[in-house]
Amino acid sequence: MADFPKPPLLPLISLFLVAFFHPVLSSRFIRSPGGAASRFLGKFAAGGGSGATPYSYETRYFEQNLDHFGFSELPSFRQRYLINTEHWAGPEQLGPIFFYCGNEGDIEWFASNTGFLWEIAPRFRAMVVFPEHRYYGESMPYGSKEVAYKNVTTLAHLTAEQALADFAVLITDLKRNLSAQACPVVLFGGSYGGMLAAWMRLKYPHIAIGALASSAPVLQFEDVVPPETFYDIVSNGFRRESVSCFNSIKESWDAIETEAHKSNGLSYLTKAFGFCRKLKSVDDLYDWLESAYSYLAMANYPYPSDFLMPLPGNPIKEVCRKIDDFPNGTDVLKRIFAGVSVYYNYTGRVDCFDVDDDPHGMSGWNWQACTEMVMPMSSSRNGSMFPTYDYNYSSMVEWCFKSYHVKPRPNWITTEFGGHGFKKVLGNFGSNIIFSNGLLDPWSGGSVLESVSETIVALVTEKGAHHLDLRPATAEDPDWLLEQRAVEVKLIRGWLDEYFEKTTKKKKIIRVFDM
């Protein structure tokens, strides 16, 4: 067995960046290949905030097999799930089951941020279920995160296929216990959860009648889409607002590099960017900035939000306003610091910033990125405002082996779920999937942006960001968002109608919803 060190606890909760996953990675690998990409990824997969949710549910636990596809004598584990049956029409009336495919974080956090599902469920008289993804939140094999994340053997079963099987087993058992075998299940998911929802509909059509896969980059593997897509879209988000803003950010990397090479350069940079503790490496600053820009692009919502961080509406516009709002000749570091402060300190209440310096911040997504979720990412010379970076697979392999004693399987996801020729394959196969994407979202480039068939459809909004459609309704929702959600509701209703029609043909059952 690998003699992997016991990981320290992740001191990242304060960043509250749970729901997203992110490329492996630009500057860290350029500057210290195989070194410490973990910090950057780590925070996105860390156990999330358990902040109060506006929705009511019961928390339950379900005993799962750790390995659905093998029969070694492994301990089972308790999967947490949230459930609300308040509005459910019940089994006789074929009340639907709305099932969110939990992704890489605490399920309560996803439940809080997936208002759309909660809001439409009563109109469908649907039960609501939010199962947690194994190895996240409270759903820890081996009783604790410490043990579950200990080494390659304990982490071995943290895979997407096992998570999908968990969902399938849970749904089947839940329905059996409620005599609800005939009740239709509709899947929902955002980001990695959206990938799970789409894959689940494809792999388990007997379990769920359809899936809304929001911002699901199911094609961000191998060479199915160009590796520059992600950073190009982030960069375009800034250039669209202001070319000078884009240029300031693009120039800033060299300026940082220059400073870093001076004596006392790190001290200077620490002070210039207001960190609480002295930077150990300039790479930490790179990552800190890159994170901010990337997340700003994902959370570039049209109204103020508090999803990742408290942010104004159209936050990139605000960042660029700050960056551009200096007299000519102002130091570029000063400019971009003002910009990223919109992200890290919009409330103005932060005195100084923390950079995570956990060199082996083991987190679930790190593991997933080192095993199955191998998503090639580059930063292009011209299209990107980030430092130029060509995807370096062997650096990643090296880092993953050093960190986890594990070898990535870069071709596995496309072998298991497809990727190349996605549209052609599913043109006469499968049905009832919505791929919804907002073009401001950097992940949209790895998703499905054209309808595949009459029933596997793409919904694209020009001004949407990362799974905006799944967020709770607000008074400021623009018309195009209301329209997008209305189309989604209509499509889901169509799936259910078709299902009810087929089912009630044989049995005399009254259709349950009326909208």
Strand partners, 310: 306
Q: Both tokens of residue 357?
A: 């310096």
E-strand ranges in 242-399 read 305-306, 310-311
Contact between 177 and a copy of itself (CB under 8 A)?
no
Q: Is 457 in the site for a copy of itself (CB under 8 A)?
A: no
Binder of a copy of itself out of 268, 326, 412, 480 (CB under 8 A): 412
**From the list 38, 79, 162, 314, which residue makes contact with a copy of itself (rule: CB under 8 A)?**
162
Cα separation, 79 vs 67, whole angstroms:
13
Shortest distance (Å) from residue 286 CB to a copy of itself: 30
Does 419 contact a copy of itself by CB under 8 A?
yes
Phi, psi of 80 (to 5 degrees): -80, 145
Is 69 or 393 the residue whose CB approaches a copy of itself more closely? 69
Total residues contacting a copy of itself by CB under 8 A comes to 57
Distance separating the N- and C-terminal Cα atoms of the chain: 57
The conformational region for residue 408 under phi > 0 = left, psi -120 to 50 = alpha, else beta, is beta
Catalytic residue among 112, 191, 248, 379: 191
Part of the chain binding a copy of itself (CB under 8 A), chosen from 7-15, 130-138, 157-165, 342-350? 157-165
Return the residue of 155, 260, 316, 375 that touches a copy of itself, per CB under 8 A: 155
Alpha carbon 507 to its chain's center:
41
* Cβ-proximal residues to 255 (8 Å cutoff; 6+ apart), any chain: 331, 332, 333
**Closest separation between CB of residue 481 and a copy of itself, Å?**
30
Q: Is 502 in the site for a copy of itself (CB under 8 A)?
A: yes
Say whether 466 is catalytic: yes
Residue closer to a copy of itself, measured from CB, 162 or 384: 162
Contact between 475 and a copy of itself (CB under 8 A)? no
Question: How far, in Å, CA of 289 to CA of 98, rounded?
Answer: 38
Stretch that binds a copy of itself, among 21-29, 67-75, 260-268, 386-394 (CB under 8 A): 67-75
Q: What is the DSSP letter of 489?
A: H
Which of residues 13 and 169 has its CB atom nearest to a copy of itself in the complex?
169
- Does position 503 bind a copy of itself by CB under 8 A? yes
- Is the distance from CB of 42 to CB of 102 less than 8 angstroms? no
Binding mask of the shown chain, residues 191 to 230, with x at each position contacting a copy of itself by CB under 8 A: -----------xxxxxx-----------------------
Annotation marks residue 441 as catalytic: yes
Beta strands in 14-76 (DSSP E): 58-64
Identify whether the C-beta of residue 77 lies closer than 8 Å to the C-beta of residue 66.
yes
For residue 326, the one-letter residue type is F
DSSP code of 214? E
Q: Is 498 exposed, middle or buried (0-12, 13-18, 19+ CB in 10 A)?
A: middle
Residues that bind a copy of itself (CB under 8 A): 1-2, 65, 67-73, 152-153, 155-157, 159, 161-162, 165, 168-169, 172, 181, 202-207, 371, 405-406, 409, 411-412, 414-422, 424-432, 455, 498, 502-503
Catalytic residue positions, numbered = 191, 441, 466
